[in-house]
Chains A and B, each alone.
Chain A
Amino acid sequence: MITIHIPTPLRKFTHNAAKVTVDADSVSGAIGALIGQYPELGKHLLDTDQQIRRFVRIYVGEEDINQLSGASTQLKPGDAVSIIPAIAGGSKG
């Protein structure tokens, strides 16, 4: 099983669950299984091309999937996947 950490702003779509477990062997499989359980998460995680949205970061353990194999990154049982909103801003637009 893979444990997925759900960020606070998206917990209203998971009945307030902070962690969801899925069966998957890749990051894309895990995200797909998560959306299968909670369809309303889909538009918040994936863009219209079904790619992970620009302001969403996915980590496996403490590694950014962009430093691994992206959505194709392989997972093994017990891995922890975290969905992390990108937090940024500043005084000039």
Chain B
Amino acid sequence: MKIIMPQHLVKAMSAWLEEAYPHEACGFLTGRLEGATRIVEQIIPVANRSTENLRRRFVIDPLDYLRAEQQADAAGRVLLGVFHSHPDHPAVPSEHDLASAQPFFSYVIASIENGSMSAIRSYQLQHEAFTEEQFVHHKEETISL
């Protein structure tokens, strides 16, 4: 399992997550499937709607989910998953991440240390537990396999 994200999208995602620091921030990843490899072609940042501790929690509005999925469908892309930040915390999923995890989706987690991106890792739910997938930061804007 592998997920590849081109450089300009890694930069855009980092900027969105760093801007929200010390709060958690989130968004969607859309793109295409090439066998077991996922190629991110677009990110859709959305607001963190958590009404709890914004430094430790994120919640996505169901209508933001629906719009992102409809946007992906209309563009012929696949909604590949979700990204979110862990401010001053490792890029590993928590029990809270696991509780609402969906099959199929990639869960990209970025650690933001002191306001700067320090690590990006990705996971998929398999047999009710997270399995890490390889996250590849691609240096080109267009990826062909």
Contacts and interface: CB of A to CB of B under 8 A. Distances in A.
Interface string B55-90: 011111011011001101100001100101011010
Interface stretch (B12-20, B36-44, B91-99, B135-143): B91-99
Contact of A91 (B56, B62, B70, B105): B56
B100 A90 contact: no
A57 B100 CA distance: 12
Given A86-B62, A88-B58, A93 B24 contact: no
Interface in A1-29: 5, 7-9, 12, 18
Contacts of A91: 24, 56, 86-87, 89, 94
A89 B58 contact: yes
A49 interface: no
Interface residues of A, number: 22
**B60, B62, B72, B96 interface centre (most CB from chain A within 10 Å):** B62
B96 A8 contact: no
A90 B97 contact: yes
Contact of A12 (B69, B98, B104): B104
B114 interface: no
Interface of B: 24, 26, 50, 53, 56-60, 62-63, 65-66, 69-70, 72-73, 78-79, 82, 84, 86-87, 89, 93-105, 107
Interface of A: 5, 7-9, 12, 18, 55, 57, 59, 62, 64, 82, 84-93
